[in-house]
Chain A
């Protein structure tokens, strides 16, 4: 049944965004980071990402950082480090290495997803065991 639902939904997804895999990746990450939240409040400093994330069901884009559950960060280096930070650029991930829970970035010619164990623990986030292969102690 699940497969049937997935198959039914794929054509709509294709219509929704040119970068269908990117969209699916963010949807997967957000819903596994916040499995119990009906509405995930997301802030981003990248306007294109905001447009894309706004398509995902259960995601609400907020303009005020204080109201956000998670900050999707491309370049802003003045963010409150207590917030949940997820980097989408290798340089910014390096900058927030002590605080960011993870990042989605390009390195050595390929896209990478990485979660930092200690920073996840600071925010009491436990990801499913299937994510273990994407977890490291440092960047």
Chain B
């Protein structure tokens, strides 16, 4: 009765006309965003980038997005790889983050890190991005991680068209993407995407013993992605290949004279959704990781004299099968799942110096990883949900490395009271080991430890959120208690530490939505370790605004980090990273954009062992973009 009455009142007015039909369409676009379907409120602290956000940001690589996450710091390693840190702690294990494209885990198995290969991936084929912090695999099923980045590709049924984007920057980079998607009939669709880029980065010089050395971190890459949807089948193929400069390399004095990274990761993923919420997933990944370093002044590695040339070639083959089944009852949802992964890797090494030393080695191993898990969500009342999850992972290696079983558990609740929402969870988990840490028979260039234990974690999270019509305020607190920490000895061996580590992160968020197209969000994050160690900026303030005015879109982000002393003893000043983007929609299908990154050239910097240089993590540069939809 109320429903009919309300609609009657609504429609007997003449307010509804085509003038606000445009506004209604904008509203409909927002309420039907795919992120509204995929995001999981109970999975952890979520930083969401909707399609509209990504378009306003003019984000063209995943790095553009990762640098706009409060409390997650991008790091730029000496060998030009990207990794992440959190407030006060720059020493996160590589396996701390995992990356998913749709339901596929694209994290490399030997290095166990998502961003080493895919961190710079192009994202024009991506609809939206969810970054879960203080999370675990319990909600998503895959291998465990505390930070999970989930990317969702655009949906063919919503595209039915093509897009071309070309971008150039003032350093001479070119980045171009094209995709096309079509619904062929109600059962069959395809989406095809290609990107090719040549990214120039600021060139740095370093003088050592009166010789000048260049730090080259340029990148060339291509990415081809395609999917076919047929009824409840979904086939995906993704190939990403990139060549990166070595930047400083890993020499003792950071004096590189060549080398680089050539990596190719390809995967095939098949998903079949049956009736009654049964899902089956089959995938195959192949990674070729070819790394060379060259340094005339020596590269120090384990169990060898100082090297001048270092080459490794690693091939990963991963086969995975997973199954999930969801049982939905009136107030209860039970998810049961299991997966099996067969991971093989083969590594070849060639290490030489100018004194005729040469060592070559070769090794391979196989990891069989299986897992069973279950999650139950029970709605005690309409406003009170309790969640409990259990998972057991079984690690079995073909050679040398000890077998391991790992148990995960999670319990918590979400309670809504008027405009408030309270969340509290406890997660008992672990940080998986990367294969290279546990197996390397020659122990050159590093000493693997087959008896290494995983780092055990207990993460407490609590949050209170207040949501009014236009405002959203939340306070999130996460405390991680860790034991069996992993560290590298001065002789390059992996060991477990007996010390316990506790870190607490406090995050305050405030978002104000002026209307459908305009919002400003701010986050203030403080991190503190119990032992008082500070290896990254302890405080971060990030303010982002997303605006539209007539035919213009605006994006501005101010990222402030406080001063600290780096793990290599460098005094790192406070930093202000400022990014600004302006897009002009010439027509509905053609737009031009300009974007400035690290505009004040005062953004966060990185310090390095063996050199006094501190170098900007994000280059100061200006991009010009053109996008055409057809």
B residues near A107, Cβ cutoff 8 Å? 158-161
Q: A107-B161, A108-B163 are in contact. Are A25 and B25 (CB under 8 A)?
A: yes
B11 interface hit (Cβ, 8 Å):
yes
A67 interface hit (Cβ, 8 Å):
no
* Known interface pairs A13-B6, A27-B10; 13 further A-B residue pairs with C-beta atoms within 8 A, sorted by A's residue number: A2-B15, A3-B15, A9-B9, A16-B7, A21-B28, A32-B17, A75-B186, A106-B158, A109-B154, A109-B161, A110-B29, A127-B18, A133-B22
B residues near A11, Cβ cutoff 8 Å? 6
CB <8 Å contact, B186 and A113: no
Complex formed: what's the CA distance from A108 to B186 in Å?
A: 17
Complex formed: what's the CA distance from A3 to B17 in Å?
A: 14
B330 interface hit (Cβ, 8 Å):
no
User: Which single residue of chain A is at the shortest CB-CB distance from B9?
Assistant: A9
Complex formed: what's the CA distance from A24 to B7 in Å?
A: 9
Interface bin, chain B = 35 or more
A31 interface hit (Cβ, 8 Å):
yes
CB <8 Å contact, B159 and A15: no
CB <8 Å contact, B157 and A106: yes
Candidates A15, A20, A108; contact of B161 at CB < 8 Å: A108
B499 interface hit (Cβ, 8 Å):
no
B39 interface hit (Cβ, 8 Å):
no
CB <8 Å contact, A22 and B32: yes
B498 interface hit (Cβ, 8 Å):
no
Residues of A in contact, count (CB < 8 Å): 46
B16 interface hit (Cβ, 8 Å):
yes
10 pairs from A and B in contact (CB 8 Å cutoff): A15-B3, A25-B21, A32-B16, A58-B11, A107-B158, A109-B161, A110-B29, A111-B25, A130-B18, A130-B19
B residues near A58, Cβ cutoff 8 Å? 7-8, 11
**Interface 1/0s, chain B 20-57, versus A by CB < 8 A?**
11101101111110000000000000000001000000
Complex formed: what's the CA distance from A5 to B15 in Å?
A: 10
Q: A28-B16, A106-B160 are in contact. Are A6 and B10 (CB under 8 A)?
A: yes
Shortest beta-carbon distance, A117 to chain B, in Å? 15
A residues near B6, Cβ cutoff 8 Å? 9, 11-13, 15-16
Chain B stretch 158-178: residues in CB contact (< 8 A) with chain A: 158-161, 163
**Interface residues in chain A, defined as those with a beta carbon under 8 Å from any beta carbon in chain B:** 2-3, 5-6, 8-13, 15-16, 18-22, 24-25, 27-28, 31-32, 55-58, 75, 89-91, 106-113, 127-128, 130-134
Q: A12-B6, A90-B183 are in contact. Are A31 and B16 (CB under 8 A)?
A: yes
CB <8 Å contact, B24 and A25: yes
Complex formed: what's the CA distance from A91 to B254 in Å?
A: 59
Complex formed: what's the CA distance from A19 to B32 in Å?
A: 8
CB <8 Å contact, A24 and B9: no
B549 interface hit (Cβ, 8 Å):
no
CB <8 Å contact, A24 and B24: yes
Complex formed: what's the CA distance from A2 to B154 in Å?
A: 40
CB <8 Å contact, A56 and B11: yes
CB <8 Å contact, B18 and A57: no
CB <8 Å contact, A57 and B4: yes
CB <8 Å contact, B16 and A91: no
Shortest beta-carbon distance, B37 to chain A, in Å? 11
CB <8 Å contact, A91 and B589: no
CB <8 Å contact, B25 and A6: no
CB <8 Å contact, A12 and B3: yes
Complex formed: what's the CA distance from A34 to B558 in Å?
A: 51
User: Which single residue of chain A is at the shortest CB-CB distance from B187?
Assistant: A75
CB <8 Å contact, A5 and B13: yes
B residues near A19, Cβ cutoff 8 Å? 28, 31-32
Shortest beta-carbon distance, A125 to chain B, in Å? 14
Shortest beta-carbon distance, B197 to chain A, in Å? 22
Q: A55-B3, A56-B11, A75-B186 are in contact. Are A108 and B28 (CB under 8 A)?
A: no
A residues near B355, Cβ cutoff 8 Å? none
CB <8 Å contact, A56 and B31: no
CB <8 Å contact, B5 and A25: no
Shortest beta-carbon distance, A11 to chain B, in Å? 8
Shortest beta-carbon distance, A88 to chain B, in Å? 12
Chain B stretch 63-97: residues in CB contact (< 8 A) with chain A: none
CB <8 Å contact, A57 and B158: no
CB <8 Å contact, A2 and B32: no
CB <8 Å contact, B18 and A9: no
